Every structure is written in C-alpha cells, then in structure tokens.
Chain A
C-alpha cells in the first residue's frame, strides 16, 4: 500500500441483480484504488457492468458485496462531492444553459452572484461563454455535452464520473471534446473516472486503463498509459498509441 491513501477505494465489490429470469451477476470481485487527481478509464464490452460500477460510485445503485469508499467514507447514497456526466447531455429544455449548469448548486443552497459567476467561468472554459442565456435546443450536440460537463463541475466536486459521455457524437467533435476534457482535468485537478467503449478514447485520456471482462464483470487487466498529462491530437497518430490500443483490443478479440 502506498503512503497516500487513495481517494476512491473499491474492495471485492459484488453486484447481483435479481430479475424475473433469475439473478444477473453484474460485477464480480472488483477491486480498484484510484488516487486523488488520477484519471482512470474503464473499458469493456457492452453489459460488462462498467456502467453499474460507475453508478455505484455515484451512489445511484447499491452493491451486494464488498466495499466502496470515497475519501474513506462508504458510499451509500449520492454524495455532494461527485459530478456526473451522462451518455446524453440530459439538459432540461425549459432551463437556459446557465440555469442548467447551476442545477446541482441550486438543489442545495441559494444561488447568488458568486454561484452564477462560477457557472459563467466554466462555460467560458469550454467556449460557451456567450450561450448562458440560450436554451439547449439552440445548441449542437457537442455544445450540449460541453454544458453538461460544466454542470458536473459547477459544485467543484472532488470526483468527476463520466459514463460514455461522447458516444453519441460524431468522431471529429469527439476528438475535440477529448482534448478539452484533458485540459479541464489538468486545470481543475479532479479525480476522473471515464466509462467508454472506445479504446482510443480511454488511452487518449487516462493514466490507467482498466479492462473488464464480459458478465460477470471483473477486472482482467490494468494498463498504465505512459504518456504525460498533456495529450494532444498528434498522439493519435503515434506508434506507441497504436501499440497500446492493439494490446487492449487483443483482450476483446480473444473473448469475442
């Protein structure tokens, strides 16, 4: 064990769902520690329980065995210091972009000038400075997902959870947003957990890539990504990047 206690600690985690056609074993003996400020990506085939794992971290789902803690405290319900980005932007159409970004704050305290300024700063950080008073339907899909990232960060959470955040976007927008997520992560020094089915996206963004097996989901490998914290699009063309991708992909070829 290292000297510094990890921020997120998952020990022998189990998740079994009861369904009408019997039990589904979603997660099996998952153990993982994530350090403060680390960026971890979890890849795996559909139905490997990676989204379940994220929802357990978000406090949206319970687990049936093992332990999961953030900053030493067991996760039993949603915590205030976690920000979540979903597969879809999930912006409320009756609220402006600014009001959408402020939602997590508004649920817990009065929103005043300081809060609005914080939201505006975040929007400016992702290039949406002029869009605070626009409604979601006036924005493209990529812009909406940027706003959703702002919403996940507005209450300055320690942990940022992302559940296949760019799966619905076209490849070019996706690449640009990945560069942006890398920059946001460096600038805000959040602990980030990314769920993705895109191996290049995982390698591009993460410091460690967790590879999961099909159901029951278990960790079959943890791969350290040797690139520095700053990632640029040049990386996508490098041989090291390709090698790492191939190495991770080999797991799924064997399985499939």
Chain B
C-alpha cells in the first residue's frame, strides 16, 4: 500500500481527499483476479478426471468440497480447529506481549541491547520447528507444548520490529520532547510507542503467519487434537480429499487472522 503525496496550493488550503471508490483500472484487476480463480478451480475440477489421475493423488474439487461439508466429519473439524485456534491465539498473545515489552526495554537500554542481542539472534537462527520434539518432552502432549512453540515463533518478529521502530524514531522528534522538558516516561508513551506502531504492526503480521506454522508443526510432532493431527490421520488413511479440505480450513483461519490484523493496522496506524 502506498500513500500518495498530494500537493495542494497553500493559499487555497484545500484538503486533499482520497477517493474510497475503486478506480476503473482497479476494477479491471479485480475482475482479472476473479477470472483467474474461476479458471484454476475449473481446471482443478476437470483435469484429474481428464488425465486419469487417481483420486488419492489429486482429488477433484467436488470431492474436496464433499469432504469439507461432510456432515459426519464437520463436528470433528470444528472442535479440532478450535484447538488449533486456541494454541495460535494464546501463543500469539503471549508472544506479542513478550516481544513488545522486551523490544521496548531493549530499545531503550543500549547496553542491555548489545549484551543480549547476539543471543537472541543465535536463538532465532535455530530452526524452531526442530525444537518442537524437545517441548513435547518438557511440556507434554497437551496444549502447553504447542503454545510454547507458537510463542517462540511469534515473539521474535514483534521484538525485532519493536526495537527497529523505536530506534528509528526521528532525532528531531526526541529533541522536540526534550526541549519541552518531557520526562522519559512521557517520551516513551507519547512519542516512542506511537512512532513505532507501523513497524510493530509489520512484526505482528509476521507473527500471525508464524503462529499458524508453529501450531501445525507442533501438532505434527505429537498431539491428540488439532487440525495438524487430523491432517496426519487423513494422510494415514489415504483420504487425500480430506487433507485438502483441512488445508482449506487452515488457509481460511490464516486469512481471517491476517485480515483482522490488517484491519486493526489501518484503524490504529491511520497516519502511515
């Protein structure tokens, strides 16, 4: 998304109003996207049959939709999606809180930042997915081990982006506050945090995507509930259509979460 700079003559004092209605060109691209989607879905429906691909390799779209709306499977989908969503939301909440508070602390205390940062980078370079089995040993097969994996994946982008946001604050803005005798607390709350919000939201978007990955992988490694478990079960019994159906549910969850964050961003960071 780009914010246009609109030049208005200073004498008229006219406010530039950005039109909310999509332009003709924008309508065309939307129509193009929809058309492409229809073509792809049609190909998905027709091609497996035409090429003689077995249904357990690539099921036709109609088979996937049947699996998705199967009334006997639906309650299972919903309750397991609830488990995965709980892991994601709790882990995300904790991870974002840690990332935000840690980022604020590290950005303000330079020495602490310099002491701690190499270790954070070191931890970040471990593929956290590979640590998941360890968390099963430590925290068991239930919710806590999954939440820990999600926290680990969610906190880092928020931490890094919070630090970047705060450290990137305009030197002049800090001088403005200092020249007017602002306290450190006032500088933090009235300047550093609001100024870092655009960057923090970028971290949040990454954290949401990471949380979904974390929850599913943790479920793959060892769990009794969750969409990851259902995917493994469907795979084990060669129900490929059900695997696709579960992937659709997962994608939908991801899209909803991402959209919510982006809506919140537009509301909160209205100036950027």
Interface residue ranges, A against B (CB under 8 Å): 58-60, 77-80, 82, 84, 86-88, 90, 92-94, 103-104, 106-108, 130-131, 134-135, 137-138, 140-143, 155, 173
Contact = CB atoms under 8 A, between A and B. Distances in A.
Given A77-B181, A90-B173, A103-B180, 5 more contacts: A84-B179, A86-B172, A87-B172, A107-B180, A137-B271
A143 B186 contact: no
A92 B175 CA distance: 13
A78 B170 contact: no
B15 interface: yes
B13 A94 contact: no
A198 B10 CA distance: 23
Interface residues of B, number: 29
Given A107-B186, A137-B271, A90 B170 contact: yes
Contacts of A108: 181
B255 interface: no
Interface string B8-32: 1110010110000000000000000
B248 interface: no
A131 B179 contact: no
Q: Name the 6 nearest CB pairs between A and B, nearest first.
A: A140-B10, A93-B271, A104-B180, A84-B179, A90-B172, A78-B181
Given A130-B13, A138-B16, A86 B175 contact: yes
Contacts, number: 67
Given A92-B194, A93-B272, A94-B194, A140 B8 contact: yes
A107 B170 CA distance: 19
A103 B180 CA distance: 9
Contacts of A173: 10
B179 A78 contact: yes
Contacts of B271: 93-94, 135, 137
Interface in B128-180: 170, 172-173, 175-180
Contacts of B270: 94
Contacts of A141: 10
A88 B10 contact: no
25 contacts: A59-B179, A60-B178, A60-B179, A78-B180, A78-B181, A79-B181, A80-B181, A84-B180, A88-B172, A90-B175, A92-B191, A92-B194, A92-B195, A93-B272, A103-B176, A107-B183, A107-B186, A107-B190, A135-B271, A137-B271, A138-B15, A138-B16, A142-B10, A143-B10, A155-B180
Contacts of A84: 176, 179-180
- Name the prevailing secondary structure of the B interface residues: loop
Of B9, B10, B191, most buried by chain A (CB within 10 Å of CB) is B10
B182 interface: yes
Contacts of B13: 130-131, 143
Contacts of A155: 180
A126 B10 CA distance: 13
Contacts of A82: 179
Given A140-B10, A143-B13, A107 B179 contact: no
Contact of B177 (A107, A130, A140): A107
B235 to A, nearest CB: 49
B197 to A, nearest CB: 8
A93 B180 CA distance: 18
A210 B172 CA distance: 25
Contacts of B178: 60, 78
Contacts of B194: 92, 94
A106 B180 CA distance: 10
Nearest to A134: B15
A82 B181 CA distance: 10
Contact of A107 (B8, B15, B172, B182): B182
User: In the complex, which of the residues B177, B179, B271 has the most CB atoms of chain A within 10 Å of its own CB atom?
Assistant: B179
Interface in B106-130: none
A152 B3 CA distance: 29
Contacts of A92: 173, 191, 194-195
Nearest to A161: B179
Contacts of B177: 107
Contacts of B15: 134, 138
A135 B271 CA distance: 8
B146 to A, nearest CB: 37
Interface string B180-210: 1111001000110011010000000000000
Best-surrounded residue of B9, B15, B272 (most CB of chain A within 10 A): B15
A77 B272 CA distance: 33
Nearest to B14: A138
A216 B16 CA distance: 47
A137 B8 CA distance: 11
A88 B10 CA distance: 17
Nearest to B187: A107
Nearest to A100: B176
A218 B178 CA distance: 27
